[in-house]
């Protein structure tokens, strides 16, 4: 199976992804699993690279991280700790992932490696498109900023409820990110013994977790820019320049 990783490194990202996805539960067969895991970690290494490139670029163009996410200083302080702009995984993260799988069932390989390689990210905030804060926040909701809960946050949110649920929350939906009533979190169904999985609750009902991440980075971390882009061509080009494909 080493040819799959070699092909991935040569740039056949979609082809290798499609092959692994089509294998379904076969990725856990001994002759496949290690190669699938190696590729998935490389995907998530690229995701992490893109996040680390985007954060300073967003600050450069005046993006206000956190605006609209909290309604009080106390709430702001809580979320700065619980869901900061970016937090890398810790040495304890694999142990926490194992705990989550005991409670919720097997995670798709992509989500497991996301926790262990990427960590968590929270791009909720506003672009300086108006002097009116309500206008900025409404537009921020339309853009649906990239957000991934940490595995530790997922464990905390699920305390006392795991016997009643069959999914793991990935992020609040685009409305709830800005304090509006939403339709429920973006989530993956568990147990899920496959390479990747559909992202439940997202507007594109067919999208998988990795394809959601691809869509986010195609638009600088804001998939809603595809339908309502008020950024200049230069700013969007600056945000997306040299982001890694995966």
- Residue boundaries of the structural domains of the chain: 2-240
Over residues 215-243, the mean pLDDT reads 96
For residue 79, give Cα distances in angstroms to 33, 67, 123: 36, 12, 12
pLDDT class for 229, splitting at 50, 70, 90?
very high
The pLDDT value given to residue 163: 75
pLDDT class for 1, splitting at 50, 70, 90?
low
The pLDDT value given to residue 60: 97
Over residues 234-242, the mean pLDDT reads 98
* Nearest-angstrom CA–CA distance, 40 and 38: 6
Higher pLDDT among residues 138 and 86, named by residue? 86
The pLDDT value given to residue 204: 79
Higher pLDDT among residues 6 and 161, named by residue? 6
Output the pTM of the full model. 0.93
**CB–CB of 246/56 below 8 Å?**
no
Over residues 7-27, the mean pLDDT reads 97
pLDDT class for 130, splitting at 50, 70, 90?
confident
Tell me how many degrees the CA angle 155-161-121 measures, rounded to the nearest 5.
30
- 155-198: per-residue pLDDT in tens? 999 887 887 778 999 999 998 898 887 778 999 999 999 999 99
The pLDDT value given to residue 68: 82
**CB–CB of 185/169 below 8 Å?**
yes
The pLDDT value given to residue 44: 98
pLDDT class for 78, splitting at 50, 70, 90?
confident
The pLDDT value given to residue 113: 98
Strands 125-126 and 186-189: unpaired
The pLDDT value given to residue 74: 81
* Nearest-angstrom CA–CA distance, 34 and 157: 31
* Nearest-angstrom CA–CA distance, 204 and 62: 29
Q: Which of 1-10, 12-21, 68-77, 157-166 has the highest mean pLDDT?
A: 12-21
The pLDDT value given to residue 235: 97
Half-sphere CA count of 86, side-chain side, radius 13 A: 16
The pLDDT value given to residue 205: 78
Residue 154: exposed, middle, or buried by beta-carbon count in 10 A (0-12, 13-18, 19+)?
buried
Give the rounded percent of residues in the chain with a pLDDT score beyond 70.
Answer: 100
Decide if pLDDT at 129 tops 90: no
Rg (CA), the chain: 18
Decide if pLDDT at 120 tops 90: yes
* Three-state secondary-structure class, residue 53: helix
Give the rounded percent of residues in the chain with a pLDDT score beyond 90.
Answer: 75
Distance between alpha carbon 173 and the CA centroid of its chain, in Å?
A: 12
What is the H or E stretch that residue 189 is in? strand 186-189
């Amino acid at each position: 199976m080493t040819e799959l990783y070699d092909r991935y490194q040569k740039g056949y990202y979609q082809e290798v992804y499609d092959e692994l996805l089509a294998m379904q539960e076969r990725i856990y067969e001994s002759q496949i699993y290690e190669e699938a895991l190696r590729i998935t970690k490389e995907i998530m290494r690229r995701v992490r690279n893109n996040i680390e490139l985007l954060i300073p670029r967003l600050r450069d163009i005046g993006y206000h991280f956190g605006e609209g996410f909290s309604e009080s200083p106390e709430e702001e302080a809580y979320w700065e700790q619980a869901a900061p702009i970016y937090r890398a995984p810790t040495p304890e993260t694999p142990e926490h992932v194992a705990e989550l799988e005991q409670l919720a069932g097997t995670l798709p390989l992509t989500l497991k490696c996301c926790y262990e390689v990427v960590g968590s990210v929270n791009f909720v905030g506003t672009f300086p498109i108006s002097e009116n804060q309500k206008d900025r926040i409404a537009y921020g909701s339309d853009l649906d900023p990239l957000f991934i809960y940490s595995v530790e946050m997922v464990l905390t949110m699920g305390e006392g409820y795991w016997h009643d649920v069959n999914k793991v929350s990935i992020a609040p939906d685009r409305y709830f990110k800005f304090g509006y009533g939403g339709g429920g979190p973006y989530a993956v169904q568990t147990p899920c013994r496959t390479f990747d999985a559909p992202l439940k609750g997202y507007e594109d009902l067919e999208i998988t977790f990795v394809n959601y991440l691809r869509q986010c980075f195609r638009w600088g971390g804001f998939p809603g820019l595809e339908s309502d882009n008020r950024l200049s061509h230069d700013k969007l080009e600056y945000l997306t320049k040299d982001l890694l494909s995966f």
